[in-house]
Chains A and B, each alone.
Chain A
Amino acid sequence: QVQLVQSGAEVKKPGSSVRVSCKTSGDTFDTYAFSWVRQAPGQGLEWMGRIVPLLDVVTSAQSFQDRVTITADKPTNTTYMELRRLRPDDTAVYYCARRGRDGPFDSWGQGTLVIVSS
Protein backbone atom coordinates (compact mmCIF):
# COMPACT_ATOMS: atom_id res chain seq x y z
CA GLN A 1 0.00 0.00 0.00
CA VAL A 2 1.44 3.32 -1.04
CA GLN A 3 2.46 5.75 1.67
CA LEU A 4 3.53 9.38 1.31
CA VAL A 5 5.51 10.73 4.25
CA GLN A 6 6.32 14.42 4.45
CA SER A 7 8.94 16.36 6.33
CA GLY A 8 8.15 18.14 9.57
CA ALA A 9 6.71 21.52 10.44
CA GLU A 10 8.68 24.67 9.68
CA VAL A 11 8.69 28.22 11.00
CA LYS A 12 10.10 30.75 8.57
CA LYS A 13 10.69 34.50 8.37
CA PRO A 14 9.04 36.58 5.66
CA GLY A 15 11.22 36.74 2.58
CA SER A 16 12.90 33.40 3.22
CA SER A 17 12.35 30.04 1.49
CA VAL A 18 11.05 26.68 2.62
CA ARG A 19 11.56 23.23 1.15
CA VAL A 20 9.17 20.41 1.97
CA SER A 21 9.87 16.79 1.09
CA CYS A 22 7.51 13.91 0.35
CA LYS A 23 8.85 10.34 0.32
CA THR A 24 6.86 7.59 -1.38
CA SER A 25 6.99 3.97 -0.32
CA GLY A 26 4.99 0.87 -1.15
CA ASP A 27 4.52 1.45 -4.87
CA THR A 28 6.33 2.57 -7.98
CA PHE A 29 7.30 6.20 -7.98
CA ASP A 30 8.35 7.61 -11.26
CA THR A 31 5.34 6.68 -13.40
CA TYR A 32 2.89 8.71 -11.35
CA ALA A 33 2.30 12.45 -11.12
CA PHE A 34 2.75 14.10 -7.75
CA SER A 35 1.04 17.35 -6.92
CA TRP A 36 1.46 19.87 -4.15
CA VAL A 37 -1.69 21.29 -2.60
CA ARG A 38 -1.87 23.80 0.22
CA GLN A 39 -4.54 24.70 2.73
CA ALA A 40 -4.43 27.95 4.66
CA PRO A 41 -5.94 27.87 8.16
CA GLY A 42 -9.70 27.39 7.93
CA GLN A 43 -9.59 27.62 4.14
CA GLY A 44 -10.00 25.30 1.17
CA LEU A 45 -7.54 23.41 -1.00
CA GLU A 46 -5.28 25.18 -3.50
CA TRP A 47 -3.30 23.33 -6.16
CA MET A 48 0.27 24.59 -6.55
CA GLY A 49 1.81 22.37 -9.17
CA ARG A 50 2.91 18.86 -10.05
CA ILE A 51 5.79 16.78 -11.32
CA VAL A 52 5.94 13.56 -13.32
CA PRO A 53 9.24 12.07 -12.17
CA LEU A 54 9.60 9.73 -15.15
CA LEU A 55 9.55 12.63 -17.58
CA ASP A 56 10.89 15.30 -15.21
CA VAL A 57 8.01 17.45 -16.40
CA VAL A 58 6.81 20.13 -14.00
CA THR A 59 3.65 22.20 -14.27
CA SER A 60 3.02 25.04 -11.85
CA ALA A 61 -0.15 26.95 -11.12
CA GLN A 62 0.00 30.45 -12.53
CA SER A 63 -0.32 32.04 -9.10
CA PHE A 64 2.86 30.32 -7.90
CA GLN A 65 4.89 30.13 -11.10
CA ASP A 66 7.62 32.57 -10.14
CA ARG A 67 7.99 31.38 -6.54
CA VAL A 68 7.70 27.60 -6.54
CA THR A 69 10.10 24.88 -7.64
CA ILE A 70 9.04 21.25 -7.67
CA THR A 71 11.64 18.54 -8.11
CA ALA A 72 11.92 14.77 -7.76
CA ASP A 73 14.77 12.50 -6.75
CA LYS A 74 14.11 9.12 -8.35
CA PRO A 75 16.69 7.07 -6.40
CA THR A 76 15.04 8.04 -3.10
CA ASN A 77 11.41 8.17 -4.37
CA THR A 78 11.12 11.68 -3.00
CA THR A 79 9.52 14.81 -4.37
CA TYR A 80 10.31 18.30 -3.11
CA MET A 81 8.50 21.61 -3.13
CA GLU A 82 10.40 24.81 -2.54
CA LEU A 83 8.50 28.07 -2.04
CA ARG A 84 10.50 31.30 -2.13
CA ARG A 85 9.93 34.86 -0.96
CA LEU A 86 7.60 33.69 1.77
CA ARG A 87 4.85 35.96 3.04
CA PRO A 88 2.69 35.62 6.15
CA ASP A 89 -0.24 34.56 3.95
CA ASP A 90 1.80 31.53 2.85
CA THR A 91 1.12 30.11 6.31
CA ALA A 92 -0.64 26.85 5.52
CA VAL A 93 -0.53 23.09 5.63
CA TYR A 94 1.23 21.83 2.51
CA TYR A 95 0.27 18.41 1.15
CA CYS A 96 1.79 16.21 -1.48
CA ALA A 97 -0.70 14.02 -3.31
CA ARG A 98 -0.34 11.29 -5.90
CA ARG A 99 -2.54 11.28 -8.94
CA GLY A 100 -3.80 7.72 -9.30
CA ARG A 101 -4.24 5.77 -12.53
CA ASP A 102 -7.91 6.78 -12.66
CA GLY A 103 -7.16 10.46 -12.27
CA PRO A 104 -8.00 11.72 -8.76
CA PHE A 105 -5.50 12.26 -5.97
CA ASP A 106 -5.69 8.80 -4.45
CA SER A 107 -2.93 9.09 -1.85
CA TRP A 108 -1.93 12.05 0.26
CA GLY A 109 0.91 12.87 2.59
CA GLN A 110 0.11 13.74 6.18
CA GLY A 111 0.67 17.44 5.54
CA THR A 112 3.42 19.83 6.62
CA LEU A 113 2.57 22.98 8.55
CA VAL A 114 4.57 25.99 7.42
CA ILE A 115 4.26 29.11 9.55
CA VAL A 116 5.58 32.39 8.17
CA SER A 117 6.03 34.95 10.88
CA SER A 118 8.48 37.63 11.86
Chain B
Amino acid sequence: EVVLTQSPGTLSLSPGERATLSCRASQSITRNYIAWYQQTPGQAPRVLFYGASTRATGIPDRFSGGGSGTDFTLTISSLEPEDSAIYYCHHYSSSPTFGGGTRVEIK
Protein backbone atom coordinates (compact mmCIF):
# COMPACT_ATOMS: atom_id res chain seq x y z
CA GLU B 1 0.00 0.00 0.00
CA VAL B 2 1.31 3.43 -0.97
CA VAL B 3 1.51 5.97 1.87
CA LEU B 4 0.89 9.57 0.83
CA THR B 5 2.32 12.35 2.99
CA GLN B 6 0.97 15.84 2.45
CA SER B 7 2.65 19.05 3.51
CA PRO B 8 2.24 21.51 4.97
CA GLY B 9 -0.58 20.64 7.32
CA THR B 10 -1.99 24.15 7.11
CA LEU B 11 -1.37 27.07 4.78
CA SER B 12 -2.56 30.50 5.80
CA LEU B 13 -2.34 32.98 2.94
CA SER B 14 -3.95 36.16 1.69
CA PRO B 15 -6.17 36.51 -1.37
CA GLY B 16 -4.10 36.77 -4.52
CA GLU B 17 -1.17 34.85 -3.08
CA ARG B 18 0.16 31.60 -4.50
CA ALA B 19 -0.37 28.31 -2.68
CA THR B 20 1.80 25.27 -3.27
CA LEU B 21 0.70 21.97 -1.74
CA SER B 22 2.89 18.90 -1.68
CA CYS B 23 2.07 15.20 -1.79
CA ARG B 24 4.90 12.72 -1.39
CA ALA B 25 4.43 8.99 -2.04
CA SER B 26 6.24 6.20 -0.24
CA GLN B 27 7.01 4.57 -3.59
CA SER B 28 7.01 5.63 -7.21
CA ILE B 29 3.52 6.02 -8.64
CA THR B 30 2.94 4.22 -11.90
CA ARG B 31 1.08 6.03 -14.67
CA ASN B 32 0.80 9.10 -12.40
CA TYR B 33 -2.35 7.70 -10.80
CA ILE B 34 -2.64 10.67 -8.47
CA ALA B 35 -5.79 12.75 -8.03
CA TRP B 36 -6.43 15.87 -5.98
CA TYR B 37 -9.71 16.69 -4.22
CA GLN B 38 -11.06 19.79 -2.57
CA GLN B 39 -13.34 19.44 0.45
CA THR B 40 -15.24 22.30 2.06
CA PRO B 41 -17.00 21.95 5.42
CA GLY B 42 -20.01 19.66 5.35
CA GLN B 43 -19.45 18.68 1.73
CA ALA B 44 -18.17 15.62 -0.05
CA PRO B 45 -14.80 15.89 -1.75
CA ARG B 46 -14.70 17.21 -5.30
CA VAL B 47 -12.12 16.00 -7.80
CA LEU B 48 -9.78 18.71 -9.10
CA PHE B 49 -7.15 16.72 -10.99
CA TYR B 50 -6.37 13.20 -12.07
CA GLY B 51 -3.39 11.71 -13.78
CA ALA B 52 -1.49 14.24 -11.64
CA SER B 53 -2.07 17.11 -14.04
CA THR B 54 -5.35 16.66 -15.95
CA ARG B 55 -7.86 19.22 -14.75
CA ALA B 56 -11.36 17.89 -14.07
CA THR B 57 -14.36 19.49 -15.74
CA GLY B 58 -15.21 22.92 -14.42
CA ILE B 59 -12.05 23.49 -12.39
CA PRO B 60 -10.69 27.03 -12.78
CA ASP B 61 -7.33 27.39 -14.46
CA ARG B 62 -5.80 29.10 -11.43
CA PHE B 63 -5.49 25.51 -10.18
CA SER B 64 -2.71 23.37 -11.63
CA GLY B 65 -1.36 19.94 -10.81
CA GLY B 66 1.97 18.38 -11.55
CA GLY B 67 4.69 16.00 -10.56
CA SER B 68 5.76 12.45 -11.18
CA GLY B 69 7.44 9.55 -9.48
CA THR B 70 7.04 10.18 -5.76
CA ASP B 71 6.53 13.96 -5.66
CA PHE B 72 3.35 15.73 -6.70
CA THR B 73 2.11 19.26 -6.27
CA LEU B 74 -1.12 21.18 -6.41
CA THR B 75 -0.71 24.90 -7.06
CA ILE B 76 -3.27 27.65 -6.74
CA SER B 77 -1.77 30.58 -8.60
CA SER B 78 -3.86 33.37 -7.10
CA LEU B 79 -6.01 32.49 -4.10
CA GLU B 80 -9.67 33.41 -3.99
CA PRO B 81 -11.74 33.41 -0.80
CA GLU B 82 -13.71 30.37 -2.02
CA ASP B 83 -10.49 28.32 -2.17
CA SER B 84 -10.57 27.97 1.60
CA ALA B 85 -10.83 24.19 2.00
CA ILE B 86 -8.96 21.01 2.78
CA TYR B 87 -7.13 19.45 -0.14
CA TYR B 88 -6.38 15.74 -0.38
CA CYS B 89 -4.20 13.79 -2.75
CA HIS B 90 -5.27 10.28 -3.67
CA HIS B 91 -3.55 7.33 -5.26
CA TYR B 92 -6.25 5.55 -7.21
CA SER B 93 -4.94 2.07 -7.56
CA SER B 94 -6.19 -1.42 -6.76
CA SER B 95 -5.59 -0.44 -3.11
CA PRO B 96 -6.48 3.26 -2.96
CA THR B 97 -4.97 5.57 -0.37
CA PHE B 98 -5.38 9.21 0.58
CA GLY B 99 -2.98 11.73 1.99
CA GLY B 100 -3.74 13.34 5.32
CA GLY B 101 -4.81 16.63 3.76
CA THR B 102 -3.63 20.24 3.68
CA ARG B 103 -5.90 22.91 5.07
CA VAL B 104 -5.79 26.18 3.12
CA GLU B 105 -6.96 29.20 5.08
CA ILE B 106 -7.53 32.57 3.48
CA LYS B 107 -6.57 35.47 5.73
Chain A residues with CB under 8 Å of chain B are 35, 37, 44-47, 50, 59, 61, 95, 97, 99-100, 102-106, 108-111
Contact = CB atoms under 8 A, between A and B. Distances in A.
B96 A35 contact: yes
B44 A111 contact: yes
A104 B88 CA distance: 12
A108 B96 CA distance: 15
Interface string B40-58: 0000111100110010100
A101 to B, nearest CB: 10
Nearest to B99: A44
A59 B88 CA distance: 22
From DSSP, what is the main secondary structure of chain B's interface residues? loop
B35 A44 contact: no
Interface residues of B, number: 22
Contacts, number: 58
21 contacts: A35-B96, A44-B88, A44-B98, A44-B100, A45-B98, A47-B98, A50-B96, A59-B95, A95-B44, A99-B92, A100-B47, A103-B33, A104-B50, A104-B92, A105-B45, A105-B47, A105-B90, A105-B92, A108-B45, A109-B44, A110-B44
B97 interface: yes
Interface in B19-68: 33, 35, 37, 44-47, 50-51, 54, 56
A46 B90 CA distance: 10
The 3 nearest A-B residue pairs measured at CB: A104-B35, A108-B44, A104-B50
Most buried by A among B45, B94, B97, B98: B45
A37 B95 CA distance: 12
